[in-house]
Amino acid sequence: MSLLTTLLLLTPSSPLDPQAQAVAQPRAVGKVTVPMEVLKSKHIAVEIKVNGKGPYRVIFDTGSPVTLLGNRIATEAGLLSKEQARTPALFGARGMGTARTLAIGDLVVENMPVMVMDHPALRAASRALGQLDGIVGFPFFSRYRTTFDYQAGTITFEPVDYADAGGMDLMQMVMLMMNDRSNKPIQKVQSPKTLWGFRVEKAKDDEEPGVTIQEVVPQSPAAEAGLEPGDRLLELDDVWTESVEDTYRAASGVAAGQKVKAKIKRGQVEKCVTIVPRAGL
């Protein structure tokens, strides 16, 4: 079992739609060959499209029992409403959803069950390997005889008739085991473990992406990075900051002295800056 899979199974989740029982169905095509990328970690990465949106760079993991997509992809592809994206979630896990289509090249599977969350293992891998937006796992690849050509850098898929390829039962089992919180409220991160020097807010009726930076402390890491009050924070350390809770969660995983990227919007211009938080509160 891969490291990503192990961490995935230790993470709680909850259903976006408890009634979602769709069964994935591949569109009728013959043998299809698509490009793949072998990462420095020896994982395999491919590009996918979800509900026609993308492409997104994801891990193709034959050890993963689920297909997982990050919150940003899920929102862009319509798997999450804006209200769901702003709702606090344990470890950023939004639960189960169904992609109308998930495509790798000309290969398209309809009604694909997916788990939606910003997984910490993918965040860590993205720092070393470049942006990774999810994992393609068993519910997708089990429908095909798959051949990897490492010299050519390609994967060839040939459809097979495998009736038990959904993977939905396993995901539901994981959810039932891990989602019993005994009616306790979700714990929120109250303060990051490092000093950043900015404060964000988001009004209930605010429908725009990101959160607004309300205050920047002089001579703080945020000030040194060039952040200004009124800037719109869109991403922090590759985590989509759609809510104040998202921002605290992203900041809480960064060690003092670690360089991280922040994507902001100032007026009509988007830009990336580098912040190096310090030790402190």
Give per-residue pLDDT as tens, 148-193: 999 999 999 998 877 655 544 555 555 444 444 444 444 444 455 6
Amino acid type, 144:
Y
> β-strand 44-50 against 154-159: which pairing, if any?
unpaired
Tokens representing residue 141 in the block: 């690849």
Residue 223, pLDDT > 90, answer yes
pLDDT band at 15 (very low <50, low <70, confident <90, very high): very low
Homologous superfamily of 194-279: PDZ domain (2.30.42.10)
Taking the CA atoms of residue 144, residue 148, residue 149 and residue 153 in that order, the dihedral angle to the nearest 10 degrees is 100
- Which CATH code fits 3-178? 2.40.70.10
* More confident call, 100 vs 1: 100
Q: Mean pLDDT across the chain, nearest whole number?
A: 79
Per residue in 205-227, is it b (16+ CB within 10 Å) or e — as a string? eeeebbbbbeebeeebbbebbeb
What ranges do the domains of the chain cover? 3-178, 194-279
